[in-house]
């Protein structure tokens, strides 16, 4: 089971790296704007209205961005979980755990794709 994972490792690391990029550069400021900016009155609440959000998500570029914001951090989290499992003594069971975790990330990615397409 280890051999197919070794072939997919560059793709998994690409998804992991892009998840870190999005999580650091985009999601952190978003949490600050939504969590602090709106309640403190720095950002007007109308800027995050449903109508504006659905207009953004209805455009193809907005859908791609939304899909990336869902899928890539998911892969980042799964990859971190795998390596945390290995670090805490689970290296001998990695051949079982890694495919299961990556299967969960794949299922989550497909579900996110379906959800974003249905907007």
- Cβ atoms of 73 and 27 closer than 8 Å: yes
- Cβ atoms of 56 and 62 closer than 8 Å: yes
Number of CB atoms found within 10 A of residue 113's CB:
14
Q: Please give the pLDDT value at position 113.
A: 93
Task: Return the closest-CA partner of residue 95 out of 104, 107, 105, 85.
Answer: 85
Q: Please give the pLDDT value at position 108.
A: 93
Domain region containing 43? 2-117
Domain count, the chain: 1
3-state percent helix, strand, coil for the chain, nearest multiple of 5: 90, 0, 10
The enclosing domain of 73 has a CATH number of 1.20.1300.10
- Cβ atoms of 95 and 33 closer than 8 Å: no
Number of CB atoms found within 10 A of residue 101's CB:
19
Q: Please give the pLDDT value at position 107.
A: 95
pLDDT tens, the chain, 119 aa long: 556 666 777 777 777 777 777 777 877 888 888 888 888 888 888 888 889 888 888 899 989 888 888 888 888 888 888 888 888 887 788 788 888 888 999 999 999 999 999 88
Q: Please give the pLDDT value at position 96.
A: 83
Q: Please give the pLDDT value at position 112.
A: 93
Q: Please give the pLDDT value at position 111.
A: 95
Regarding pTM above 0.85, the answer is no
């Amino acid at each position: 089971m280890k051999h197919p994972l070794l072939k997919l490792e560059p793709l998994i690391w690409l998804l992991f790296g892009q998840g870190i990029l999005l999580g650091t550069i985009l999601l952190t400021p978003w949490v600050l704007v939504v969590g602090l900016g709106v309640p403190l009155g720095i950002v007007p609440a109308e800027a995050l209205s449903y109508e504006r959000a659905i207009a953004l998500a209805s455009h193809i570029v907005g859908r791609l961005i939304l899909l990336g914001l869902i899928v890539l951090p998911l892969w980042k989290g799964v990859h971190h979980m795998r390596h945390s499992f290995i670090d805490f003594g689970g290296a001998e069971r990695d051949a079982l755990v890694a495919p299961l975790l990556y299967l969960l990330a794949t299922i989550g990615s497909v579900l996110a794709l379906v959800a974003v397409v249905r907007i």
